[in-house]
Amino acid sequence: MSTDVTVKEMVARGEGSAVPAQVIRKQMAHLRVRRGGPDGTQLEDFHVEVEEGMVVLDAVHRIQATEAPDLACRWNCKAGKCGSCSAEVNGEPRLMCMTRLSDLPEGPVVVEPVKTFPLVKDLVTDVSWNYRVNKKVQPFTPREMTAEEKAKGEFNMKQADIDRVQEFRKCIECFLCQNVCHVLRDHHREDAFYGPRFMIRMASLEMHPKDGADRIPALAGEAGVGMCNITKCCTEVCPEHIRITDNGIIPLKERVADRHWDPVRWMIGKLGGK
Amino acid sequence: MDRFDTHVHDVVVVGAGGAGLRAAIESATMGQKTAVICKSLLGKAHTVMAEGGVAAALSNADARDNWMVHFRDTMRGSKHLADYRMAVHHAKEAPARVRELEMWGAVFDRTKDGWINQRNFGGHTYPRLAHVGDRTGLEIIRTLQDKAVHTPGLEVFMELTVVKLFKSKDGKVGAALAYERATGRFHLFKAKAFVLATGGVGKAFRITSNSWEYTGDGMGIAYEAGADLLGMEFVQFHPTGMVWPPSVKGILVTEGVRGEGGILRNTKGERFMFRYVPEMFKGEFAETEEEAARWLAGDKNARRPPELLTRDVVARAIMAEVKSGRGTPRGGVYLDISWREADYVRAKLPSMYHQFKELAGVDITKEPMEVGPTMHYIMGGIRVDPDTEMTNVPGLFAAGECAAGLHGANRLGGNSLSDLLVFGQRAGAGAASYARGLPSTPEVDPAEVYAAVAHALEPFDRATGESPFAVMDALQEIMQANAGMVRFRDELEHAAKEIEALRHRAAKVRVAGTREFNPGWHVAMDLPNLLVASEAIALSALAREESRGGHTRGDFTDADEEKWGKTWVVCRRENGRMKVVLEPVVPMPADLKAIVSGKAEDVATKKEASA
């Protein structure tokens, strides 16, 4: 226990990085957090005490409570349900609340903001573009109810017919898929593509058995489903394990192609309740 | 020179969880220019964490259900302290509010016949909770969010925190001051009516299922503006929070686990809940494991398992087991759903499956979960008119968790999401009607606003002072230890004294760094609200010398129907101090009384029985 105290004291004196590595590994985690704003950033080193089961977000909180109360990060539920604490941990896009320190390789844990969106401060980025895109997606447009449905005030839908839509509706809007999408991350074609999140949003409406709107023109046009070249990076990072590309984007591409090449088949499909 | 931006609306809603969004949609639809201000990004509010479902007597899963049975369950669950008028509105209007969500795009799980499915939950006589797996809150918030952003006349201000309300000379609320989290810039929102929908106060406690946002903001700013706080002694400790590993202690394990057949056992392997059925519910619960199993299999003649008793009862039972040495070394008991088919568990409880797998390394389809009580909800809050949701301050409305009245001494699971929808809609309508009737926006004194801005910036000016995080930490320690699940007079008095001391510490905290996205400053601004709510909890708990629902006194272990069964505890600001006032519960008319005291079968819809 005496080494424990020594480490704590050394850290308290700001000598964290001078503590011998083998001592730190036992009780402490070494975090390198990217800090700063639009004018420039740098990695700052922190050493925090580790408890069993601790996640990266816990470590960030501990830094806030001790050394750097002004360290900016977003979070809410700390249980993988709200999608607020997206960051890049050792270069991998993750939710900080669902990334256990013990699952990471030995050595410093590098925590950086997501790269695709403009930096606000430290780990916080400006994700407002996503909210502007969402406003452009035509909302749910209910079909006329049957007489039976009207009497009840509810839609009648079989569970099997809504399973796929429910998969898409699991999205917690962490925007990690947007962050890794090449079209947005590397080419910054926000003007031409809504990104995987909103492909999934549009798929959840397009494949809703009771939605009556036609979203194919928007998908082929401004939403830009054709921009996706199916690298599936979005699917890989989705913390909700939504099969974004296979179940969402590819079927949407097919619907656009059907309309273009085979409008009769599309019309039959549409009349049959999608 | 102005030190803030000014915005003018008819109605301003503070908070963008279920209640706030539903209120804003109603107000904007009624033609009032409406703003929603929220602390987080849109769609991240605490509603997103609600898991089990939304209670509404749709009578899809069991045709016997109707509003009267739901009303009866709510009143009995509240241990007779709910405002019956709110409980009637709630039970009658919840089905329409749920069905309306479906028209706005929500996709609830279906029955075999294709209607909205409903699951069992604690305290509900029939399967009543419309749900989407165990992510019902996400479905509701996403639906309301999309409806809201496509509603004309509704404007959303994200990542702004409201710190103070201002009144005109004749006492009407006319403005709210907020700061922008990213930049630290101030904004003044002028409006004719304000709806508070800020949620609860979990961050006053150490072990909680609540997020950082739950700092009692609505209660704090409403109290400072002169609104009454009602029933603040009633804090709900959810029976099942995670207990291991330490970093996840308190995270919610949905009651849906028990609704789907989850069994509670102590370390001796005993299914202990059979021993904890209170007098009030005797005869309504299964008496053997065999009967409980039959009920789960759908036998309508069998009674429900005792795991589905109300939350206050289950939480106390778990605590009693742990205190008697039959708990795990980490202070929990076992909750087991692994006896059900793995595929079924993963389909019905997907996020529980992932939560335990990823955070605790436990596969709930193979092994039991370790669970214990966690601070989850506050039944008390801002006192409102049961019909319009206006507080006793003209122009100030409240709905959702920050408001009081519907849940009395204990809330039933699933009644929170329905509360948000029913009273969110009512508050939105109430505020819009009130705003329509007001010829102009009440004038507030600019000097008060400037003073509030200067006050908010003081922590930056101090050369010395402790970290705001240290004060919040101390408060959590005090509340957890002295105002938690079992309370004693001396501990509550100690808590009240300590809170007073913390108020002085909070007034002297120092914040380093700039105003740009500075969590230390944000906590400094949250502290006054946390302290108001905590003081109200401690003083109300001290006043109520009995045990009832979420309030358990170690020195007054019984319920006192004669006195306290007919009394509400109210906190209000008088001469700068918090005063506790006792008021009689509004008595129920005879016809409703008969519903509550009779058997569920007596008010259940009968056609099923003859079929």
d(CA A213, CA A16): 59
pLDDT of residue B109: 97
Q: B156: closest CA among B3, B4, B12? A: B12
- Chain B neighbors of A55, CB-CB under 8 A: 247, 359
The answer to whether A79 and B208 have CB atoms below 8 angstroms apart is no
- Token pair for A145: 């109810």
Query: pLDDT tens digits for A138-179?
Result: 999 999 999 999 999 999 999 999 999 999 999 999 999 999
What's the mean per-residue pLDDT of chain A?
89
Cβ of A53 within 8 Å of Cβ of B246? The answer is yes
The pLDDT of residue A272 is 58
pLDDT digits (tens, 9 = 90+) for B512-568: 999 999 999 999 999 999 999 999 999 999 999 999 999 999 999 999 999 999 999
CATH label, A127-271, candidates 1.10.1060.10, 3.20.190.10, 3.30.450.60, 3.30.70.260: 1.10.1060.10
Burial of B364 per CB tally in 10 Å (0-12, 13-18, 19+): buried
The pLDDT, as a whole number, for residue B316 is 93
Asked whether residue A269 carries a pLDDT value surpassing 80, the answer given is: no
More confidently predicted of B610 and B575: B575
pLDDT over threshold 90, residue A19: no
Structure tokens at B77: 């669950």
Which tens digits make up the pLDDT trace of B190-202? Answer: 999 999 999 999 9
Place A274 in a pLDDT band, splitting at 50, 70 and 90.
Answer: low
The C-alpha atoms of residue A55 and residue A89 are separated, in whole angstroms, by 11
Identify the band that residue A24 occupies on the pLDDT scale cut at 50, 70 and 90: very low
Using CB atoms within 10 A of its CB, is residue A217 exposed (0-12), middle (13-18) or buried (19+)? Answer: exposed
Q: Do A154 and B158 touch (CB under 8 A)?
A: no
pLDDT at A273: 54
pLDDT (average), residues B416-445: 98
Mean pLDDT along residues B243-260:
91
Fold category of B240-375 in CATH: Flavocytochrome C3; Chain A, domain 1 (3.90.700)
Which residues make up the CATH 3.50.50.60 domain(s) of chain B?
32-186+205-234+379-611
Does the CB of B346 have a partner CB in chain A at under 8 Å?
A: no
Q: Tell me the mean pLDDT in the region B336-355.
A: 93
Nearest to B115 among A77, A81, A152 (CB): A152
B147 near A CB under 8 A: yes
Q: What integer pLDDT is reported at residue A271 of this predicted model?
A: 65
Q: What is the ipTM of this complex?
A: 0.92
Handedness of CA A146, A151, A155, A159 (dihedral sign): negative
Domains of chain A, residue spans: 2-124, 127-271
Q: Domain B32-186+205-234+379-611: give its CATH code.
A: 3.50.50.60
Report which of B67, B77, B96, B94 is spatially closest to residue B595, judged by C-alpha positions.
B67
Q: Determine which of B140-149, B218-227, B240-249 has the lowest per-residue pLDDT on average.
A: B240-249
Which among A76, A79, A170 has the least Cβ separation from residue B213? A76
Q: What are the pLDDT digits (tens) for A43-86?
A: 999 999 998 899 999 999 999 999 999 999 999 999 899 999 99
Q: Which of B46, B181, B238, B572 is catalytic?
A: B238
**A162·B212 Cβ contact <8 A:** no
Strands, DSSP E only, in B94-135? 118-119, 129-130
To the nearest whole angstrom, how far is the Cα of B236 from the nearest Cα of chain A?
Answer: 18
**pTM, whole model, 2 decimals?**
0.93
B353-360 contacts at long range (C-beta below 8 A, 24 or more positions apart): B354/A80, B355/A79, B355/A80, B355/B242, B355/B251, B355/B253, B356/B242, B358/A80, B358/A98, B358/A100, B359/A53, B359/A55, B359/A79, B359/A98, B359/A100, B359/B242, B359/B245, B359/B248, B359/B251, B360/A53, B360/B242, B360/B244, B360/B245, B360/B248
Q: Write down the pLDDT at residue B169.
A: 97
CA B594 to the chain's CA centroid = 28
Task: Please give the structure tokens belonging to residue A69.
Answer: 């109360």
Distance CA B559, CA A251 (A): 61
Question: What is the band of A1 on the pLDDT scale with cuts at 50, 70, 90?
Answer: very low
Are B337 and B345 in contact by the 8 Å Cβ rule? The answer is: yes
Residue B189: which pLDDT band, with cuts at 50, 70 and 90?
very high
> What does the pLDDT read at residue A270?
63
Q: In terms of residues, how long is chain B? A: 611
Nearest to B519 among A64, A128, A134 (CB): A64
Task: Please state, in angstroms and as integers, the Cα–Cα distance from residue B490 to each residue in B530, B531, B555, B573, following that order.
Answer: 22, 19, 10, 24
Q: Is B351 helix (H, G, I), strand (E, B) or coil?
A: helix
| B258 labelled catalytic | yes
Average pLDDT of the residues in B589-609: 89
| Whole-number Å distance between alpha carbons of B132 and B144 | 15
Order the strands of the B263-265 sheet from edge to edge: B235-242, B369-378, B333-336, B263-265
Who contacts A250 (Cβ-Cβ below 8 Å, separation ≥6)?
A: A230
| Encoded amino acid at B373, one letter | P
Q: What pLDDT is stored for residue B559 in this prediction?
A: 95
Sign of CA dihedral B317, B237, B139, B121: positive
Structural contact between residues B414 and B54, judged by C-beta atoms closer than 8 angstroms:
yes
CATH of domain A2-124: 3.10.20.30
User: What's the confidence (pLDDT) of residue B351?
Assistant: 87
Mean pLDDT in chain B?
A: 95
φ, ψ dihedrals at A96, nearest 5°: -65, -30
Q: What pLDDT does residue B606 have? A: 83
Give tens-digit pLDDT for A120-138: 999 999 999 999 999 999 9
pLDDT digits (tens, 9 = 90+) for B475-486: 999 999 999 999
Residue B2 pLDDT: 52
Task: In chain B, list all ranges with CATH 3.90.700.10.
Answer: 240-375
**Residue B12, φ and ψ in degrees, nearest 5:** -115, 125
Q: Which residues of B touch A70 (CB under 8 A)?
A: 511-514, 518-521
Q: What is the pLDDT of residue B136?
A: 96
- In tens, the pLDDT along B536-545 reads 999 999 999 9
Q: pLDDT band at residue B51, thresholds of 50, 70 and 90? A: confident
The answer to whether A213 contacts chain B (CB < 8 Å) is no
| Number of Cβ within a 10 Å radius of residue A118 | 11
Across the interface, whether the CB atoms of A65 and B467 are under 8 A apart is answered: yes
pLDDT at A6: 39
Number of Cβ within a 10 Å radius of residue B574: 10
| Alpha-carbon distance B104 to nearest alpha carbon in chain A (angstroms) | 6
Q: Which of B206, B258, B376, B548 is catalytic?
A: B258
Predicted local confidence at residue B131, as pLDDT: 97
Residue B264 has pLDDT above 70, yes or no: yes
